[in-house]
Amino acid sequence: MDKNAPQLDPKLKEAYDRVMGTSVNPPSQKQEAAPLPQNPTPQAPQQTVQSPSSSVQKAVASKKGGSKALIIFLVIIVFFIIYGLVWIKMFDLKVPFLNQ
C-alpha cells in the first residue's frame, strides 16, 4: 500500500498506525504525544464469570425445542381431526364409526 500516509486527523492517524503497524509522521504536521496517565497502584486482573458451556446450552435448548415440537405436532393432529369432523357433518356424510 502507499507508504506515505495522507494528512489525517489525529484520531484517524492513530487508527491507521494500529492497523498498518507503522508510524507515519508527515513532515508538515508536528503532533504532540499525549501524556499517558500514570497510575501508581497496579490493578489486579479482573476475573470473569464463565457462562455454561455450549454443550450444556445445546442440551437444554434441544429438550425445550423437542417438547415444543411435540406439542405443536399434537395440536396439528387434533386440528385436522376436528376439521375433518366438521366437514363430515357439513356434507352429512355417513361414516360407520360416527353413525351408530
More confidently predicted of 55 and 95: 95
pLDDT above 90 as % of the chain? 23
User: Considering the domain boundaries, does residue 100 fall inside one?
Assistant: yes
User: 25 and 46 in contact (C-beta within 8 Å)?
Assistant: no
pTM of the model: 0.37
User: Considering the domain boundaries, does residue 72 fall inside one?
Assistant: yes
Q: How far apart are CA 87 and CA 91, in angstroms?
A: 6
Instruction: Give the domain extent around 94.
Output: 56-100
Q: How many domains does the chain have?
A: 1
